[in-house]
């Protein structure tokens, strides 16, 4: 039983999309930047209307910023690739962005788990490779190189068991598509850049 004196363990949000399918997305309009030519009101509107288009990634970030709008601390932003990203130094783990994402791409995790897969596509690897420059192709290289047996391929994408993960970064280093990310930037490419 919890007492009032016990503190809630801090959580932080993470976006599970690397944005490789973002360029020229119909959700963001012709220029892919979400400017005046934007075709949809918000992410929920776009997700509903685009769900019938089989030529688009059904699991990727729509980049319209519904998560940005609900974040009261400015911890969520749309990066230069048109994908939502989290500024972990500002995130308090309130979960508002999680609720705002119609594709369930944002989840809460504990800050010490800084390695995560940035793709939840369930499409077969060959299809993902055609549609997305950064999507998981379920090659299993991460599984083979994990010394803690913390990674499995489920529904055509990598899933990390955070309880088993030792944060060695081997999966991030070995991933040929760069979708396994290290939020601290030690084992993977640099941190996300804010869109100007």
Other residues' Cβ atoms within 10 Å of the Cβ of residue 32:
17
List C-alpha distances in Å: 43 to 1, 7, 75.
39, 34, 18
9-111 has CATH 3.30.70.20 classification: yes
**What is the reported pTM?**
0.80
Q: Using alpha carbons only, what angle is made at residue 152 by residues 109 and 10, rounded to the nearest 5 degrees? A: 10
Same fold, 9-111 and 114-183: yes
Identify the pLDDT of residue 30. 46
pLDDT digits (tens, 9 = 90+) for 119-168: 999 999 999 988 888 899 999 999 999 999 999 999 999 999 999 999 99
From residue 117, how far is each of 36, 120, 154 by CA, in Å?
32, 8, 12
At 91 the pLDDT is 95
CATH class of 114-183: alpha beta
Please tell me the least confidently modeled range out of 20-34, 43-57, 163-177: 20-34
Distance CA 43, CA 62 (A): 6
> For 190, which DSSP code?
P
Rg of the chain, C-alpha, whole Å:
17
pLDDT tens for each residue of 61-113 = 999 999 999 999 999 999 988 899 999 999 999 999 999 999 999 999 998 88
CA distances from 65 to 74, 102, 141 (A): 12, 11, 33
13-35 pLDDT, tens digit each: 999 998 877 544 555 554 444 44
Q: Calculate the CA dihedral of residues 146, 121, 93, 147 and round it to 10 degrees.
A: 0
Backbone angles phi, psi at 153, to 5 degrees: -95, 120
Domain boundaries, the chain: 9-111, 114-183
CA distance 112 to 37: 40
Tell me which DSSP letter residue 174 carries.
Answer: H
């Amino acid at each position: 039983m919890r007492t009032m004196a016990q503190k809630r363990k801090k959580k932080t949000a993470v976006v599970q999309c690397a944005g490789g399918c973002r360029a020229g997305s119909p959700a963001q309009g012709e220029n892919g930047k979400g400017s005046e030519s934007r075709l949809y009101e918000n992410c929920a509107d776009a997700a509903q209307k685009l769900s019938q288009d089989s030529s688009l990634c059904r699991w990727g970030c729509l980049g319209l910023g519904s998560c940005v709008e609900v974040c009261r601390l400015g911890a969520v932003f749309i990066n230069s690739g048109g994908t939502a990203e989290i500024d972990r130094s500002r995130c308090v783990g309130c979960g508002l962005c999680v609720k705002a994402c119609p594709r369930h791409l944002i989840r809460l995790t504990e800050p010490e788990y800084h390695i995560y897969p940035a793709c939840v596509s369930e499409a077969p690897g060959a299809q993902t490779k055609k549609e997305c420059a950064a999507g998981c192709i379920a090659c299993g290289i991460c599984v083979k190189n994990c010394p803690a047996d913390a990674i499995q391929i489920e529904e055509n994408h990598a899933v990390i068991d955070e309880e088993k993960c030792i944060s060695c970064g081997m999966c991030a280093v070995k991933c040929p598509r760069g979708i396994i990310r290290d939020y601290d930037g030690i084992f993977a490419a640099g941190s996300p850049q804010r869109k100007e």
